[in-house]
A and B are shown apart, each in its own frame.
Chain A
Amino acid sequence: MLKIENLHVRVEDKPILKGISLTIRPGEVHAIMGPNGSGKSTLSNVLAGRDGYEISAGSVTYQGRNLLEMAPEERAREGVFLAFQYPVEIPGVSNIYLLKAALNAVRKHRGLHELDAIDFLKMIKDKVKLVEMNEQFLYRAVNEGFSGGEKKRNEILQMAVLEPRLCILDETDSGLDIDALKIVSDGVNSLRCEERSFILITHYQRLLDYIKPDFVHVLAQGRIVKSGDADLALELEDKGYGWIDQQLGAVA
C-alpha cells in the first residue's frame, strides 16, 4: 500500500526527517509515537502533500505510484486521508455542502456517478450515527464554533464518508476528553478492514488502549529509532521518552 524509503525532508533548510523507511500493507494499523519536535506532523503533512516541505532525498510509493508527484487533491481522490490535528473553520460553508462536494469529487475521480441530494442524505444519516453526532451539525458551518471534541469527530465523519484507503490521523487524540476519545476510537475501529490501512500519529499511549495497533514505531530526532508491536507503546509509557534519548545517546 505505502512504501516510504530513506525519506529526508527539510523545512527552510533545516533537516526535520533524516531517513525514514516504513512499509505499510493493506489492513495494517501503524502507530507512530515520539516526543514533540520529532517530526511526526512533518511526516503526515508530507504524505498529504502540504506546501513548504523540501524533499531532499528518498521516495514514497503509494499503490505503485510516486506519491510525491501527485497534487494534494489527487492524493485525496486516490484514497489518502489526513485527519488534521487542528481542523480549520470555513465560515458560511455548511458541513453537508463540503461533504457532498468532497465525496462527489472523489467519486467522479473513481468513475462513479455523483450522488444526488436524496441518496447523499440517506448515506450521510448512517455515517453521522457512527460518530454519535447530532444531525444539526451537518447544517452548521464547517467547524465554526465547534468544540475541540466536535472538530475531531467531524474529521472522523469526513473519513467515514470518503472511505479512504490510507488514513493518517495526526494527533487526533490531543485535546479529547475520555468520552470523545472513545467515540473517535469506536469510529476508527468500525472503519478498520482488510483493504484499509491506518497511520496513527500520537504523543500518548492512551489512544492505543482503544485502537490496537499492529506495529508501533518511535520517531525521535527525525528517525525511526525503534519499532515493535503494541507492547512497545506500553514500555514507552512506562519508561518515558527519556528512555529513548538515553538509548540514542548510548549509540552516539
Chain B
Amino acid sequence: MSAAEQTIEKLISQEYKQGFVTDLESDTLPPGLNEEVIRIISAKKDEPEWMLQWRLEAYRHWLTMTEPRWAYVDYPPIAYDAISYYSAPKAKEGPKKLNEVDPKLLETYNKLGIPLYEQERLAGVAVDAVFDSVSVATTFKDKLAEAGVIFCSMSEAIRHHPELVRQYLGSVVPAGDNFFAALNSAVFSDGSFVYIPKGVRCPMELSTYFRINAAKTGQFERTLIIAEERSYVSYLEGCTAPMRDENQLHAAVVELVALEGAQIKYSTVQNWYPGDEDGRGGIYNFVTKRGDCRGAHSKISWTQVETGSAITWKYPSCLLRGDHSIGEFYSVALTNHRQQADTGTKMIHIGKNTKSTIISKGISAGRANNSYRGLVKVLKSAENARNHTQCDSLLIGDRCGAHTFPYIEVKQASARIEHEATTSKIGEDQLFFCRQRGLSAEDAVSMIVNGFCKEVFKELPMEFAVEAQALLGISLEGSVG
C-alpha cells in the first residue's frame, strides 16, 4: 500500500464523534405494533378523534403493503415487531421555557454544538429541538408570532391549529404513498410544523435538530411546512444519533406546500450514526420528502448534506404543478466504511414553463456504495419544461462504488432535458501536488473534497455551510482548513 493510500485509509477510519448516549429516564412503549399501540400514542398526545382515525387508516393500509426492495442497498429483514414506536424523556409536565428543560438534555445539545441559549442570542436561529419523540423546547416563538409565523411541534399544531393540519397533512405525501410513509402516518410521534402567512418573509432561519437517543426505538417524525402566497421561508434540519450496535429505523415524512409565488428553501445536514467499520449498527434512514409547488411562480429548493446513516433511502422531490414553478435539488452524499446510500430526487413537471435543476455530488470511501437515483418526468401539460441534471461522483480508495440510475420520462415535445455525469477519483497527483505546496495529507483531502462539493455548499445558509464543511471534514478526517 502506498503512503497516500495509507493516509487515506487513516483519514476514513475516524470515529463517530456524536456517539454519546444521554442517560435520561424515558417513557417508552414496549416493542410491537398494533392498533392498541397507535391508540396509546394518539392518547398520550391528546389527539382529536379525526387524527386517531387517520392514523388507524394508514396502519390498516400499511398492513397490506410490502417493503420496497428495488433500491441498490442490502440489509437483513427489519423486524417491525421488535421496535418500540414511542419513547419520550420522562417529565412531570411539558417544559414551558428553556430553563425548565432537563439540564441533561440541554447538555446533549451543547455537545452537539447547538447551545440553545447561544443560538437564541447570537445566531438569531429559532430551533425546534426534537429529542426522540417529543419536542423539547421551541425558541423564538414570540418574535415569529409577531410576524404571524407559526413554528411549533406537530403535536402542538394538531391541538392548536387543527384546521390547517387537517387541510394539508397527507396532501403531498398521502398516508398510503409508500410502505415507509404509511408506517410513519400510523405512528408518527412528533416533528415540526411551519406556517408562513401571505406575503410574509420569515424573519429568521428556522431550524430543527433531531436526535435519536433511546435504544431500539424508531424515530418517525413528521414535518409539514406551508408557505402561503408570496411568502418565503428557509428551514434547516440537522440529525445525529448515539452509537449503538443494533440498527435503528428512522422513517420520516416531510411535506412542503408552496402556494402562488411562495418560496421554500429546505436544507438538511444529516449525520445519523453510520455504523462501525464492519457495518454493525447504524441508522436505517428511509425517508419520504416531497414538496408541492402548488401555485404559479412558486419555488422549492432542497439542499442536503448527508454523511451519516448505515443505509439511506431518500428522494426529496418536487411536484411542479404551478406554471413557471421551479424545483431544485442540491445534494452531497458521503458514504464511508460499509455505508450504503441510494438517494436522489424526483422532479415531476406538470405546469407550463416549469424548471428544475438537479446537482448531485456523491463521495464514496472505504467499502461504501453510493447510488444516485433520479426521475425527471415531464407530463403532456408541461409545455416548455426544462431540466438540468448534473451527477458527479468522487471515489476515494479502490474498494468503494458509485452508481447512477437516472430515469427520464418525457411526454411533451417542447421539453428540454440535459443530463451530465462524471466520475473521478482523488488522484495521487492532486494529493502530491497539495503536499508539495506544504499542506498535510488531511488538509489536502479536505480541500479537494470541499472543492468537489462547492456548488452544493453555496446553496446552504451561511452558518450551516460552515457546519456542513466541518461535518464532511469529521467524516473523512480531523479538520478542514
Contacts and interface: CB of A to CB of B under 8 A. Distances in A.
A170 to B, nearest CB: 11
Nearest to A83: B436
Given A51-B2, A90-B451, A76 B428 contact: no
Contact of A90 (B430, B436, B441): B430
B447 interface: yes
B72 interface: no
A52 interface: yes
B447 A90 contact: yes
Contacts, number: 80
Given A88-B427, A90-B448, A93-B447, A50 B438 contact: no
Interface string A56-76: 000000000000000111011
Contacts of A101: 439, 443, 447, 481
A8 interface: no
Interface in A62-102: 71-73, 75-77, 81-82, 84, 86-88, 90-93, 97-98, 101-102
A141 interface: yes
Nearest to A77: B438
Contacts of A188: none
Residue of A51, A84, A87, A162 with highest tally of chain B CB at under 10 A? A51
A109 interface: yes
Contacts of A102: 434, 437-439
Interface of B is mostly: helix
A102 B434 CA distance: 8
Nearest to A141: B451
Nearest to B4: A51
A42 interface: no
A158 interface: yes
B280 interface: no
B438 A92 contact: no
Interface string B432-473: 111111111101000110111111000000000000000000
A106 interface: yes
A72 B452 contact: no
Nearest to A72: B435
B454 to A, nearest CB: 4
Contacts of A158: 437
Nearest to A92: B451
B91 to A, nearest CB: 47
B451 A162 contact: no
Interface in B304-319: none
B439 A82 contact: no
Nearest to A71: B435
Contacts of A72: 432, 435-436
B3 interface: yes
Contact of B441 (A73, A86, A103): A73
B2 A98 contact: no
Contact of B3 (A48, A51, A91, A103): A51
Contacts of B430: 88, 90
B437 A93 contact: no
Contacts of B451: 90-93, 141
Interface residues of A, number: 32
Contacts of A87: 433
A92 B437 contact: no
A76 B436 contact: yes
A92 B453 contact: yes
B429 interface: yes
A100 to B, nearest CB: 9
Residue of B436, B439, B481 with highest tally of chain A CB at under 10 A? B436
Contacts of A133: none
Contact of A98 (B440, B441, B447, B453): B447
Contacts of A98: 434, 437, 447
B420 to A, nearest CB: 14
A185 to B, nearest CB: 22
B394 to A, nearest CB: 10
Contacts of B440: 73, 105
B438 A76 contact: yes
A82 B2 contact: no
B435 A106 contact: no
B433 A84 contact: yes
A133 B72 CA distance: 48
B433 A92 contact: no
Residue of B428, B430, B433, B454 with highest tally of chain A CB at under 10 A? B433
Contact of B439 (A50, A75, A88, A105): A105
Interface of B: 2-4, 427-430, 432-441, 443, 447-448, 450-455, 481
Closest 3 CB pairs between A and B? A92-B451, A93-B451, A92-B454
23 contacts: A51-B432, A72-B435, A72-B436, A73-B441, A76-B435, A76-B438, A84-B433, A87-B433, A88-B427, A88-B429, A90-B430, A90-B447, A90-B451, A92-B450, A92-B454, A93-B447, A98-B437, A101-B443, A105-B437, A105-B440, A105-B443, A109-B438, A141-B451
